[in-house]
Structure 1
Amino acid sequence: MEKTKQDYINSVLWQACDTFRGKIDSSIYKDYVLVMLFVKYLSDTYKERLEEHTKRYNGDQKWIKRAMSRERFILDEFSTFDYIYSERNDPEIGEIINKALEHMENENTGKLRGVFRNIDFNSEAILGKTKERNAMLKTLLEDFAKLDLRPSVLEDEDIIGNSYQYMINMFASDAGKKGGEFFTPPEVSELLARLMKPQENDRIYDPTCGSGSLLIRVVRQVSSRKVAVYGQERNGQTHSLALMNMYLHGIDDAKIEWGDTLANPLHLEDGKLMKFQVIVANPPFSLDKWAMGFAGEGSNNEKYKMEASLDLHGRFAWGVPPASKGDYAFVLHIIYSLAENGRAAVILPHGVLFRGASEGKIRKAIIKHNLLDAVIGLPENLFFGTGIPACVMVFKKNRKRNDIL
């Protein structure tokens, strides 16, 4: 039996992008391609398991149904790829896909609740008028119909996760300045993952997790994969991609929240910030207006000034970062989220090492509390769309030595 190989999947996916190229921006159509990959994989897996159970129970529907209800994901006949594909010539195909995704969420509320809420296959604003939209969706479905993603025919079990990752990498280089600077190149992710040496049963956290690639790298350092994974992402679409990314990499119990980590951190225990053994992050470089979320309803944003007292979690006692540069806001959030034996690695722009004013004050406090373990310079032009040199700052709680590497 012919195995489905990595290169083949990647090339079909890239071809699927041709359907949209020149019509809509890649930062928008990437979501459609990645969602379709997810749906196709879930469908093919479900189909194969159904065949196995049908054989095992000699077609006894009651037993088959019972066995299928224990599967990782449950699909009804109206949410399978095969059903959607059979309707590809229907004038309402966009709506049919939307309904299928809704079905999928409802059948798997524990896992997929809200995963597809930010994607609309029937959107005139994004995909154009009915005729063009339908033509695009039909071509997209025909591209994906070429793929056989049943687990038994895949070359190896990481292949789907790898393809998803490949697409995210390709889109980041495509997006240039817009999407590229928030994407962590695989080599840099690998560096952070190895520096952190995660152990079994560690809690691993990324406060600005994007599509989750950095977290997955860290998890892969632990051979048993027995770790607890936490992330938060502000952008709704990216949050959905992160959830799908986790499932495609076999991480089913990751807790990825949607919201502004600074103004509204969602990983709490007894109302206080949750503590983690390992934190990795590549926050947006020098984020302007980072404190917007603290501004309360009805306040005048223009005149609004961030103060340490506005933060319920007391993260800015050592100083409030400048309004136009959020770097140290993320650093302080991370330091305050470290467990007693916790360690963190954060990618930051070089300016954090020498800028003055409140940032200088915060730096002093971090060093006085002996939390900074190492500063690693990174070569320039590592990040898509921005040439600025970056660094990695490594923090450790309860350090045994005082010198900084």
Structure 2
Amino acid sequence: MEQLSYLLFLKMVDEISTDPFTEDEAKAVVPSGYNWRSLASLKGYELEMHYRNILNELARNPGTTLGTIFAKAQNRITEPSLLEKLVIDLIGREEWTVQGADLKGDAYEGLLAKGAEDTKTGAGQYFTPRALIDAMVDVMQPGPDDTITDPACGTGGFLIAAHHYIREHHMQYLSRERRLALGAGRIWGNELVTGTARLAAMNMLLHGIGDADGPSLITVGDALAEPPKKHASLVLANPPFGKKSAITVIGTDGKADREDISYDRQDFRATTTNKQLNFLQHIMSLLEMNGRAAVVLPDNVLFEGGAGEKVRRRLLDEFDLHTILRLPTGIFYAGGVKANVLFFEKKPPRSGGVPNTTKLWVYDFRTAKHFTLKQHPLRRADLEEFVQAYLPGRPRAGREESERFKCFDYAELIARDKVNLDITWMRDPALDDADSLLPPDVIAQEIIEDLQAALNEFAAIAEALGAEVPADAEMIEEPMAY
């Protein structure tokens, strides 16, 4: 996938730079002597040698977008005839960027999805279903004045979708200067894995976000290592699930769990090795005042005691946690995922210690919803009912309860044992009605999902108790953006 991405990137930027419809907004991303045309004019050994030179030359300026994309890039296609076939006959014969169609997005999504299908490689952790990304962006309605980030951006899916939404809904009202400024630092991300950050930088540049010679909008490193250096008005994220490679973050409670590595985060209130709770606390810090967030998090964040209860109390008191979307299983590439999307806003303290959360709306999109990755994948249309019920851009006072959408007062929430927000009230009719049995493949897949989820929970408990968890039983690192 990495080798294909280099070649596909070079071909796409060549098309973009010569497209008359985008010439006022685009410039040559790579120098002429090292672009796709210089490569496609050669054959055999000369082609292979020039390709190696291109990879070396484009990696010369670390810290820039191109430097991030081609950092330590190597040509692993060592057979000149195969490289020639890719350049001349396969990639070279196609037009990958078509005016009026997001083929470049489809191409990269297809490439990433193909890699994500092989969950043994761990690729699935970087892929969030496009349908879910689009629904989250549609309800958050990013605007040209927003500053937007994702602290675990994977290959940049949330950032690209937000940028696309702004262009689609606001472009006609923007001056050329504001249009060009959209990708000049108002959208940025962070990614832990270098190879994935490379794909994110490619993806964003191809979608008109950032400057090839300017600072990279994707930083590489552990987002939890230190407090954020700048804040955002909108955070969209699907942080990695699981406890694998977890670190301890020491919060203001001064506690420390058993770990070899720890970070001192005085902006955190709770000390825990739970990666998702730490990412949630990090996102709380990332938000500027009156900023808003939409974050995919697993069920344990909603019910875990100890640090989990502390974080939830803070979320209800200091933030406005107004909506939770309960997601079904079967939509992520890695198994055993029971997740939710939390929608919340950062608010200034209210007088008299009054909590900022007054009502929490929970939408159950999990019960009686059955999806599989191939036979019955999640579509954007499947989430339309939730998007309409959310009332994006309109006062939440106008929301109406339904079978799937229920409202809970702060008093009800805070009175629940350990402030448990894993709230459910529906029952799957397929469990009660013998005539409505699901297809055998769906039943089998859901059994696998439930068993994997149970294994993940037991592995977490064992690890917390100090047991050595076998590698094949560790909690799966679940999907991140794109």
Instruction: State whether TM-score is above 0.5.
Output: yes
Is the CA contact 2:267–2:285 (under 8 Å) kept in the aligned structure 1? yes
Q: Deviations over 1:47-106 (max 9, x none)?
A: 678xxx9xxxxxxxxxxxxx9xx93424223x132332343310x754431211333455
Q: Equivalent residue for 2:267? A: 315
Is the CA contact 2:321–2:344 (under 8 Å) kept in the aligned structure 1? yes
Task: Identify if the C-alpha distance between structure 1 residues 303 and 46 changes in structure 2 by more than 3 Å, giving closer, same or farther.
Answer: closer
Q: Equivalent residue for 1:218? A: 162
Shift of residue 393 of structure 1? 1.1
Count residues with an aligned counterpart.
Answer: 326
Q: Does 1:388 align with 2:344?
A: no
SS in 2 for 1:252: coil
SS in 1 for 2:359: coil
Shift of residue 292 of structure 1? 7.1
The structure whose RCO (Cα within 8 Å, separation 6+) is larger is 2
TM-score (norm. length: structure 2): 0.61
Q: Equivalent residue for 1:134? A: 80
SS in 2 for 1:40: helix
Cα separation, 1, equivalents of 2:49 and 2:119: 28
Q: Does 1:37 align with 2:8?
A: yes
Q: Equivalent residue for 1:62? A: none
User: Of 255, 258, 280, which residue of structure 1 is paired with 2:220?
Assistant: 258
Cα separation, 2, equivalents of 1:293 and 1:303: 10
Shift of residue 177 of structure 1? 6.7
Q: Equivalent residue for 2:111? A: 167
Q: Equivalent residue for 1:353? A: 302
Cα separation, 1, equivalents of 2:293 and 2:9: 31
Shift of residue 303 of structure 1? 5.6
Q: Does 1:116 align with 2:62?
A: no
Q: Map 1:4-403 to 2 at 5 A.
A: 30-46=1-17, 71-77=27-33, 79-90=34-45, 93-105=47-59, 110-121=64-75, 123=76, 130=78, 133-141=79-87, 142-148=89-95, 154-156=98-100, 158-175=102-119, 178-222=122-166, 223-224=169-170, 227=182, 228-252=186-210, 255-264=217-226, 268=229, 274-291=230-247, 304=260, 306=262, 310-311=264-265, 314-316=266-268, 318-321=269-272, 323=273, 325-398=274-347, 402-403=358-359
Task: Identify if the C-alpha distance between structure 1 residues 327 and 109 changes in structure 2 by more than 3 Å, giving closer, same or farther.
Answer: closer
Cα separation, 2, equivalents of 1:46 and 1:373: 44
SS in 1 for 2:219: strand
SS in 1 for 2:204: helix
- The percent of aligned pairs where both chains have the same amino acid is 25
Shift of residue 108 of structure 1? 11
Cα separation, 1, equivalents of 2:341 and 2:306: 21
Is the CA contact 2:62–2:68 (under 8 Å) kept in the aligned structure 1? no
TM-score (norm. length: structure 1): 0.71
Cα separation, 1, equivalents of 2:360 and 2:158: 25
Cα separation, 2, equivalents of 1:304 and 1:108: 31
Query: What is the one-letter code of the residue matched to 2:244?
Result: D
Cα separation, 2, equivalents of 1:370 and 1:107: 41
Task: Identify if the C-alpha distance between structure 1 residues 94 and 350 changes in structure 2 by more than 3 Å, giving closer, same or farther.
Answer: farther
Is the CA contact 2:204–2:210 (under 8 Å) kept in the aligned structure 1? yes
Cα separation, 2, equivalents of 1:292 and 1:37: 40
Query: What is the one-letter code of the residue matched to 2:40?
Result: Y
Cα separation, 1, equivalents of 2:48 and 2:104: 25
Cα separation, 1, equivalents of 2:249 and 2:270: 18
37-46 or 327-336, larger mean C-alpha shift = 37-46
Task: Identify if the C-alpha distance between structure 1 residues 339 and 229 changes in structure 2 by more than 3 Å, giving closer, same or farther.
Answer: same
Is the CA contact 1:306–1:320 (under 8 Å) kept in the aligned structure 2? no
Cα separation, 1, equivalents of 2:258 and 2:48: 41
180-189 or 326-335, larger mean C-alpha shift = 180-189
Q: Deviations over 1:118-152 (max 9, x none)?
A: 4311x4xxx5xx5xx43432332231221245x7x
Is the CA contact 2:151–2:191 (under 8 Å) kept in the aligned structure 1? yes
Cα separation, 2, equivalents of 1:237 and 1:350: 29
Query: What is the one-letter code of the residue matched to 1:372?
Result: L
Query: What is the one-letter code of the residue matched to 2:5?
Result: L
Query: What is the one-letter code of the residue matched to 1:391?
Result: N
Unaligned runs of 5+ residues in structure 2 are 172-178, 251-256, 349-355, 362-482
RMSD value, Cα? 3.1
SS in 1 for 2:187: strand
Query: What is the one-letter code of the residue matched to 2:293?
Result: A
